[in-house]
């Protein structure tokens, strides 16, 4: 089955309840697969045939219903993100209205009331998230563990766990960065085709968005990430490239802490280098 936003979920859950196995694949994978076939006509019938052949040829992982707790957290965090976006729009409108030569007092009053209403809704959502975490000590412990990373707050940790369903299908750091669309794509062939490496951005945009502010804090307060950022900016001269690298490191680090059930150790890198320096070097006679 192709993933079609949220519209495939009801039918997928119905299939699971009937005791059948199902795999859900991103539409771009099916689309790229169809280009390898001799099919030139794109209709519901040809697409169904392509999906069937794709499922028969590939070894796909079974899809399971998301955990109820993670699903609720995902709905709440996404709703909060929408409210924050709406509030930003309102603040921009308020600034534009107040900057006019003859501002309308009624418009300013209504915009301020709308901003207060959105602030109230955001607080309600945060309270509901806190209630869910308090009712699930295991998930709350995971959130606290990830929050020990400098720059990572409880809300960011909650978003990561909610969007990955508690890292259910994540097996490695590389798979996680690919799922978030933070993997690097290259286009190179011989000497004539040499494109610049870029982020694929073919993944979960909610995770990518959630990692932006933590990367700014990490660059400011964590010496390890600060050095990484400075080194990349000095090499490429592009600040965003350094921030994206820090975002990827933070995301991978959250998975490592969750997998090993440990808290962040700021001295880990120093201890690792010390162990490597203490190892005897092998010299050829």
Beta-ladder partners of 25: 2
- CA atoms within a 13 Å half-sphere pointing along the CA-CB vector of 192: 0
pLDDT grade for 276, boundaries at 50, 70 and 90: low
CA angle (75, 78, 83) in 5-degree steps: 120
Res 197 pLDDT > 90: no
Q: Which of 186, 139, 131, 189 is nearest to 160 (CA)?
A: 139
Average pLDDT over the chain, rounded to an integer: 88
Residue 29 pLDDT grade (very low, low, confident, very high; cuts 50, 70, 90): confident
Of 22-31, 53-62, 190-199, which range is least confident?
A: 190-199
Whole-prediction pTM value? Answer: 0.84
Predicted pLDDT of residue 272: 67
CA distance readout (Å), 234 to 55, 184, 219 = 47, 20, 14
* d(C-alpha 153, C-alpha 178), whole Å: 23
Question: How far apart (Å, rounded) are the C-alpha atoms in residues 165 and 33?
Answer: 27
Alpha-carbon span 174 to 88, nearest angstrom: 34
At 285 the pLDDT is 42
What is the distance between the alpha carbons of residues 24 and 17, in angstroms, rounded to a whole number? 16
CA distance linking residue 264 with residue 221, whole number of Å: 14
- Per residue in 227-268, pLDDT (tens digit) is 999 999 998 888 998 999 999 999 999 999 999 999 998 877
């Amino acid at each position: 089955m192709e993933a079609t936003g949220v519209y495939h979920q009801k039918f997928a859950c119905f299939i699971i309840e009937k005791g059948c196995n199902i795999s859900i694949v991103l539409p771009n994978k099916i689309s790229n697969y169809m280009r390898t076939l001799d099919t030139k006509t794109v209709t519901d019938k040809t697409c169904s045939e392509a999906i069937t052949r794709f499922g028969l040829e590939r070894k796909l992982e079974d899809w399971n219903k998301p955990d109820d707790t993670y699903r609720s957290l995902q709905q709440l965090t996404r709703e909060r993100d929408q409210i924050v976006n709406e509030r930003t729009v309102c603040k921009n409108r308020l600034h534009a209205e107040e900057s006019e030569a003859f501002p309308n007092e009624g418009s300013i009053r209504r915009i301020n009331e709308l901003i207060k209403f959105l602030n109230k809704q955001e607080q309600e959502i945060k309270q509901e998230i806190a209630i869910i975490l308090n009712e699930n000590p295991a998930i709350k412990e995971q959130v606290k563990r990830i929050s020990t990373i400098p720059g990572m707050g409880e809300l960011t940790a909650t978003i990561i766990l909610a969007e990955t369903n508690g890292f259910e299908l994540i097996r490695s750091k590389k798979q996680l960065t690919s799922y978030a669309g933070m993997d690097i794509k290259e286009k190179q062939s011989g000497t004539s085709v040499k494109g610049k490496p870029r982020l694929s951005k073919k993944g979960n945009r909610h995770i990518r968005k959630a990692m932006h502010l933590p990367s700014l804090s990490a660059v400011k307060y964590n010496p390890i990430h600060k050095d990484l950022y400075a080194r990349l900016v000095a090499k490429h001269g592009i600040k965003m490239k350094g921030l994206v690298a820090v975002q990827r490191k933070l995301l991978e680090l959250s998975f490592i802490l969750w997998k090993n059930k440990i808290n962040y150790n700021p001295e880990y890198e120093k201890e690792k280098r010390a162990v490597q320096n203490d190892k005897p070097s092998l010299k050829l006679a």
